[in-house]
Amino acid sequence: MWSDAQIDQRGVFIEGEKAINMNDVVKAGIRYDHISAEAKRRDEVNAGFSPQQIWAMTGAPAGAGEEKTEDNVGGFVSWTHRLNEQYTLDTVLSRSVRTADATERYIARMTPMSDWIGNPELDPEKHHQLEVALHSVKGNTNWSVTGWYNRVDDYILRQTVAAGMKERDVYRNVSAELFGAELQVKHKLSDNWTLGSALVWTVGNNLDDGTKLSRISPLELTTSVNYRHDNLKAGASLRLVDHQNDVCLSGSANCGGQDVRKTPGYGVLDAHVEYAFTNGINLLAGVDNVLDKAYTLHESRDDTVNPASFQVAEPGRSVWLRVSKAF
C-alpha cells in the first residue's frame, strides 16, 4: 500500500543563550532539515492499478511519487524576564516544520467498500507559535499560567469524501490555527504532603473550511496529592475530562473528519505507593482506574489496513506491581 516509500531526513541544529543582565536571559536556535522522499514502486500494477494511477484519481499530476525534496527551516527566540523575586515571565516565538509521513504521501489502497489515497504533492506543515508564560514562586506555593497561539500554514488534513457509492480518505493542505492555555499549581501542605493541580484547554480550527480540527483533546483537570516520608512515597491523582462537542465527525455525510462522536466526559482515579529498600530494591505498586470507570478517550485511533477511525474502551480497574534493583 505504500509503494516502497523512502523518506530520508537529515538536519542540523544550533542553539545559543545569552544573559543580558541579572533579570533577562535570551535564547535562540535555528534548525535546517533536508528531506528527500520517493515511492520506488509507484508504477507497479497491483489489482489492475498502479499507485501512480490511484493518486491521479485525486488530482495528482503525472510523475507524482518521483523523488521530491524539501529544504525546511525552523527556529525559536525566547526571552526570560525576572519581574521580581516572585514572578518570572517567559516569551517564546517559534517556527517548526513537519514533513508529510509515508501514509500521508503514498498510501494507495482501493477496495470495493472504501479507498485510502495519499497525496505525493503535499507541502510540509509550517507552525508559527507564540507562547507566553507567567511563573510564580512564593513560600510553599508555586504556580504558572501559559497561553499560546499556533498559526499553521499547509496543515495536512485527512478528510473523507464521497467517491461514487463508496467513501474515500484523501489528504490536502489547509490553513489552520491551534490555541490554548494551561494552569499549574503546586502547594506544599507540610513537610510530607504536597497538593498539585493542572488545567489544560485546547482549540483547533480549520480556517479554510470553517470547521473544527479532528482529535482535539477536551478540557482536562488533573489534581494529585502526594506523601513522602523517608523511603516511602504514596500518592493519588484524579483526572477529570470534560465532554468534547467541538468535533469534525467522520464520514462523507458529515464533516469528513476523524472524530467518531461527541465524546462524554469522565473522571478517573489512580493511586500508587513506592518503597525504596536500603539494599537497592525498589517496590512500586498501584491501582489504575480505582473506581472501575468505563470511558474512552476522545482522540480516535487509526487501523493501518482500514481507513475508518475508531475509539477503544480504556482498561477498567488495574492492579499492578513493579520491582526494580539498582546496582
Is the model's pTM score more than 0.85? yes
What is the distance of C-alpha 306 from the center of its chain? 21
Question: Which stretch of DSSP H or E encloses residue 204?
Answer: strand 193-206
Q: Confidence band (pLDDT; 50, 70, 90) for 325? A: confident
Does residue 189 share a domain with residue 42?
yes
Q: Confidence band (pLDDT; 50, 70, 90) for 304? A: low
* Tens-digit pLDDT profile for residues 109-146: 988 888 999 999 999 999 999 999 999 999 999 999 99
CATH of the domain at 185: 2.40.170.20
Q: Confidence band (pLDDT; 50, 70, 90) for 270? A: very high
Alpha carbons 239 and 224: distance in angstroms, whole number: 9
279: containing domain: 217-326
Which ranges of 198-323 would DSSP assign to H, the alpha helix? none
- Which of 210, 227, 248 lies at the terminal end of a domain, its last residue? 210
Does residue 200 share a domain with residue 283?
no
Structure-block grid coordinates of residue 85: 523575586
Task: Return the pLDDT at 288.
Answer: 97
The contacts of residue 316 (CB under 8 Å, 6+ apart) are: 289, 292, 293, 294
Going by their DSSP bridges, the two strands 5-19 and 87-98 should be labelled as unpaired
DSSP 315: P
- Which of 210, 236, 254 lies at the terminal end of a domain, its last residue? 210
Does residue 144 share a domain with residue 13?
yes
Which residue, chain included where needed, has cell 504558572? 144
Q: Is the pLDDT of residue 279 over 90?
A: no
Tell me the mean pLDDT in the region 146-172. Answer: 94
* Tens-digit pLDDT profile for residues 48-96: 889 999 999 998 898 888 999 999 999 999 999 999 999 999 999 999 9
Q: Is the pLDDT of residue 311 over 90?
A: no
* Tens-digit pLDDT profile for residues 8-41: 999 999 999 999 999 999 999 999 999 999 999 8
Does residue 106 share a domain with residue 32?
yes
Q: How many domains does the chain have?
A: 2
Task: Return the pLDDT at 2.
Answer: 76
Does residue 221 share a domain with residue 206?
no
Task: Return the pLDDT at 150.
Answer: 99
Does residue 258 share a domain with residue 198?
no
Beta bridge partners of 38: 6
The per-residue pLDDT of the chain, averaged, comes to 94
Helices (H) and strands (E) in the chain, counts: 2, 18
Does residue 42 share a domain with residue 165?
yes
Does residue 136 share a domain with residue 203?
yes
Does residue 132 share a domain with residue 85?
yes
- Which of 188, 210, 232 lies at the terminal end of a domain, its last residue? 210
Does residue 274 share a domain with residue 139?
no
8 Å CB contact between 31 and 73: yes
* Tens-digit pLDDT profile for residues 175-217: 999 999 999 999 999 999 999 999 999 999 999 999 999 999 9
Does residue 117 share a domain with residue 258?
no
Does residue 87 share a domain with residue 205?
yes
* More confident site: 4 or 128: 128
Percentage of residues in the chain having pLDDT higher than 90? 78
Q: Is the pLDDT of residue 224 over 80?
A: yes
Longest dimension (CA), the chain: 72
Structure-block grid coordinates of residue 236: 493519588
